Each structure stands twice: as C-alpha cells, then as structure tokens.
Amino acid sequence: MPNPLSSPNPCLSCGACCACFRVSFYWGETDAAPGGYVPTELTQPISPHRSAMKGTDQPKPRCCALQGVVGQTVLCSIHPQRPSPCREFNASWEAGEPNEACDRARRHYGLAPLAPIKAGTHSEI
Ligand code: SF4
Ligand code: SF4
C-alpha cells in the first residue's frame, strides 16, 4: 500500500493488495537485524533468509498490520515501518502507468481497476 498521506489516495478505501499476496522480504528488514525496521513480532520466517508479514503466507492472505475493511476504509498500522515490497508497490497510475497486480487485487475484491483522470489523481472506472 503506497503512502496514505498523498491525496487523493485510493488506497485508503481499498487495501486489496494487503489481503491478496504473500508479502515477503529479506529478513534483515526486520528490527531483529541491525538497521532493520519492520516489527519482528509481525513477521514470520519463511526460509533461512526471508521473512513474510504474518497473515500473508496462507491461502487467503491478509496482512496482520492491515486495519479496517477491504474496499471500505483501511490503514496500514505500521506504515512508516512497512517492508520494501509495500514501499515499492504502486497503485495503478500512481507512477503514470497501470500496475497489473493492483488491478488484479482490486478485481479479487470486486473493485474496479483504477484509471487516471488527470495527472496526480485517481478515479474508478
Ligand atoms: S490494490 Fe492498488 S489501490 Fe488497492 S491498496 Fe493496493 S495499491 Fe492501493
Ligand atoms: S505492512 Fe502495511 S502496506 Fe504492507 S501488506 Fe501489511 S498492511 Fe499492507
């Protein structure tokens, strides 16, 4: 989920990507490692060198840090400490192009893909 402070932000009424995919990353991003910042208690090891956000490594994923109702009002409770996959995941058109994974996650929850109206804004089609 991208930065909720950007406005208007479609992610605050979505959250689909936080409840669709396994969110995995190098374990050194956790605060168990020097310089790490992701709260370790919200993660689980999935291999010797990788961790995942709890709740995302299961058939029906939902990140344990996601608050609210997908498709209504949501918030990432650890937004400043979210791992790199979340930081690097753009909402469709946030970076000027569609993101197939964003579109797919939204469709999974019956939400229309985002479409651009004009630079810097989003809307639903
Ligand atoms: S699926 Fe797309 S619009 Fe929804 S929260 Fe994730 S990035 Fe934002
Ligand atoms: S850490 Fe935050 S942004 Fe990342 S999947 Fe979990 S709720 Fe979403």
Exposure class string for 101-112: b at 16+ Cβ within 10 A, else e: ebbebbeeeebe
Pocket lining: 10 vs ligand 1, CB cutoff 6 Å:
yes
Q: What is the pLDDT of residues 4-58, one digit of tens each?
A: 544 579 999 999 999 999 999 999 999 999 999 999 999 999 999 999 999 999 9
Atom of ligand 2 nearest to the CA of 85: 4
Any alpha helices (H) in 13-124, and if so which ranges? 84-88, 100-108
Q: What is the pLDDT of residues 75-105, one digit of tens each?
A: 999 999 999 999 999 999 999 999 999 999 9
Entry pTM: 0.90
Q: Collapsing DSSP states into helix, strand and coil, what is residue 64?
A: coil
The protein residue whose alpha carbon is closest to atom 6 in ligand 1 is 17
Beta strands per DSSP E along the chain: 24-26, 43-47, 50-53, 66-68, 74-76, 114-115, 123-124
The protein residue whose alpha carbon is closest to atom 1 in ligand 2 is 82
